[in-house]
Chain A
């Protein structure tokens, strides 16, 4: 070694001395807050997002209004006695002896006016939230669960299992969702649970594809290989190691698709293929008003029967999408976390 030319060697830079001595100042490498979990951080990000919080408030308010619109009785027992809506949604007011006619413009007594059957549009819009909101949430919950399992199985096992399962998905994607929903409702007939089933049938495929993609990504990770090498059973590996890591994009997708489902339900209602005519569902209400607009009732145009139910759909879906965007940003933000570190960009 000594024959090599120009070799420089430095002695005396005693790194161990740094470890041994008492810290000179209270500066530490690990700043507080770094241990914060991803969900806590996500929630903090979400709370700081003003438009997302606005959406959350609106959705909460609409849900509360729908629940407290009319009393709820379960098996003869009134579990929810409040009635924020002044009239029953199906009450034809002049039949009840009130001095009210069809298509009355909005007034103090009837803030959203009355419809073609002299029903109170305000009460109907409040009450109608029950259909759209509940179908939206139920469908998204069920479809996400089905898609999660389906996608996880396909992605985890791969091979011919995956191949067959994906061909089934191709089949679903060859239909425009609404067409398939229409066919299903035509088969099953109109009704609440029929709608839930129709939108579940078309909705799960998107989650399945998303989850499969995520699983394929996660599967490459070492801890999954390690868990398998340690002899963990497949089901355990999927649900303890793989799924938790794929769940963030699932939540984003779910929050964004509630709005889609609500619009779809209303669209079927509008086409006369949703709930029975006369139901206070928002889309069904619009179906009944289409004629009045298209044909023009002569004299005044009862704009209120169109503006308010549709506006309710729009408001809800918009708020839901604000929430979805907020969740997306919040869960996404942690990937960009390193950017704030150091100036080397």
Chain B
């Protein structure tokens, strides 16, 4: 099977899952008593019952749930994701305005995670049971045990308030300016720490496992320098299992964004999601959930492809 066909089949197979996710989320959200219109009415008592019904009809909030779902779905297929009622803005542009913020944060967190995890994991596995290994294990365990919101608060406390190296909140500057890199550091570290710790543990254990295999002794018996043995022979094999976990962590980065954006008042999708939950913005919740689902599935697909590249034994079938 060719790579292209493999990807096509995998992408096609995600459609039922996404459909399931949309039905499930839609049903969940509509079980919720209360919608944005209720809140609107509560705030503006002068709105009459007739006006309220008209507003509901305008936002597609009347009729039974299945009908609402069908309306929503047919709109979606035409590229219309619905409306953010509180600001009366289409969901599409609303998300696109916030997406780059989250992507920048997520990628930065990712980069930090990989940059710390891979070298540390290799070092710990190669120097197993030494002081360095113990220290890296303590780091990894702490990283997993640190609640990211608390880590964020502590970083603000120490680096923004006491050491005064950063402003508490990032100033409102264009995202793609070099200055923004500086302001990405605190939230980026916060979002990347847990992933980094998890990856490091996986890297260490997978590397340690590979180091015990006979092909390693065979490579050493060939007289290759230890550096070649580790970085050429062992690393590629250990990365195979790390890839799967790395893709899996994409979901963790998203969940992290929800919390970390709240801590740093970062204007991204995660914060929008929390606001959507509180404000019962149905269309926005649906759109963000589906968007995350697609991203997670794509990340897993990417991992499968990398996996196949790293391991010649894998065939696309």
**B81 at the A/B interface (Cβ < 8 Å)?**
no
With a CB–CB cut-off of 8 A, which chain A residues contact B153? 286, 289-290, 293, 306, 310
CB distance from B292 to the nearest CB of A (A): 6
Q: Pick the contact of B17: A174, A271, A290, A294 (CB < 8 A).
A: A174
CA distance A175 to B150 in the complex (A): 23
Contact code string A164-199 (vs B, CB < 8 Å = 1, else 0):
000100110111111100111111000000000000
Q: Which of B241-288 contact A (CB under 8 A)?
A: 251-252, 254-255, 258-259, 262-263, 265, 273-274, 277-278, 280, 285, 288
Q: Is the Cβ of A187 less than 8 Å from the Cβ of B28?
A: yes
**A61 at the A/B interface (Cβ < 8 Å)?**
no
Give chain A's interface secondary structure class.
helix
Q: Is the Cβ of A271 less than 8 Å from the Cβ of B259?
A: yes
With a CB–CB cut-off of 8 A, which chain A residues contact B150? 266, 286, 306, 310-311, 313-314
Q: Which of B7-21 contact A (CB under 8 A)?
A: 16-18, 20-21
Q: Is the Cβ of A294 less than 8 Å from the Cβ of B168?
A: yes
CA distance A167 to B13 in the complex (A): 11
Q: Is the Cβ of B154 less than 8 Å from the Cβ of A310?
A: yes
**B161 at the A/B interface (Cβ < 8 Å)?**
yes
CB distance from B213 to the nearest CB of A (A): 12
**B293 at the A/B interface (Cβ < 8 Å)?**
yes
User: Which of A29-37, A233-241, A317-325 interfaces with chain B?
Assistant: A317-325
Known: A267-B259, A301-B161, A306-B153. A182 touches B274 (CB 8 A): yes
Instruction: Report, as a range, how many residues of chain B touch the other chain.
Output: 35 or more
With a CB–CB cut-off of 8 A, which chain A residues contact B168? 293-296
Q: Is the Cβ of A176 less than 8 Å from the Cβ of B252?
A: yes
**A154 at the A/B interface (Cβ < 8 Å)?**
no
**B29 at the A/B interface (Cβ < 8 Å)?**
yes
CB distance from B56 to the nearest CB of A (A): 20
CA distance A313 to B150 in the complex (A): 9
- Chain A CB count within 10 A is highest, among B142, B147, B161, B168, for B147
With a CB–CB cut-off of 8 A, which chain B residues contact A293? 153, 156-157, 161, 168
CB distance from A3 to the nearest CB of B (A): 45
CA distance A290 to B31 in the complex (A): 31
CA distance A186 to B289 in the complex (A): 14
**B146 at the A/B interface (Cβ < 8 Å)?**
yes
CB distance from B211 to the nearest CB of A (A): 14
Q: Is the Cβ of B273 less than 8 Å from the Cβ of A182?
A: yes
CB distance from A198 to the nearest CB of B (A): 11
Q: Is the Cβ of B147 less than 8 Å from the Cβ of A314?
A: yes
**A247 at the A/B interface (Cβ < 8 Å)?**
no
**A333 at the A/B interface (Cβ < 8 Å)?**
no
Which residue on chain A has the smallest CB distance to residue B158?
A: A303
Which residue on chain A has the smallest CB distance to residue B146?
A: A314
CA distance A155 to B15 in the complex (A): 25
CB distance from B64 to the nearest CB of A (A): 18
Known: A290-B153, A314-B147. A270 touches B259 (CB 8 A): yes
Q: Which of A266-322 contact B (CB under 8 A)?
A: 266-267, 270-273, 283, 286, 289-290, 293-296, 301, 303, 306-307, 310-311, 313-314, 317-318, 320-322
**A140 at the A/B interface (Cβ < 8 Å)?**
no
With a CB–CB cut-off of 8 A, which chain B residues contact A267? 147-149, 259
Q: Which of B151-182 contact A (CB under 8 A)?
A: 153-154, 156-157, 161-162, 168-169
**A259 at the A/B interface (Cβ < 8 Å)?**
yes
Q: Pick the contact of A183: B145, B251, B285, B293 (CB < 8 A).
A: B285
Q: Pick the contact of B142: A167, A175, A270, A318 (CB < 8 A).
A: A318
With a CB–CB cut-off of 8 A, which chain B residues contact A295? 168
Q: Which of A53-101 contact B (CB under 8 A)?
A: none
Contact code string B19-61 (vs A, CB < 8 Å = 1, else 0):
0110011001101100000000000000000000000000000
A-B contact pairs, 16 of them (CB 8 A): A176-B254, A176-B255, A176-B258, A176-B292, A176-B296, A259-B144, A272-B278, A273-B277, A293-B156, A293-B168, A301-B161, A301-B162, A307-B154, A310-B153, A313-B150, A325-B141
Q: Told that A178-B255, A178-B259 touch, could you supply 11 new A-B pairs with CB distance under 8 A?
A: A167-B17, A174-B296, A174-B297, A176-B258, A186-B32, A186-B277, A187-B32, A263-B145, A273-B278, A301-B161, A321-B145
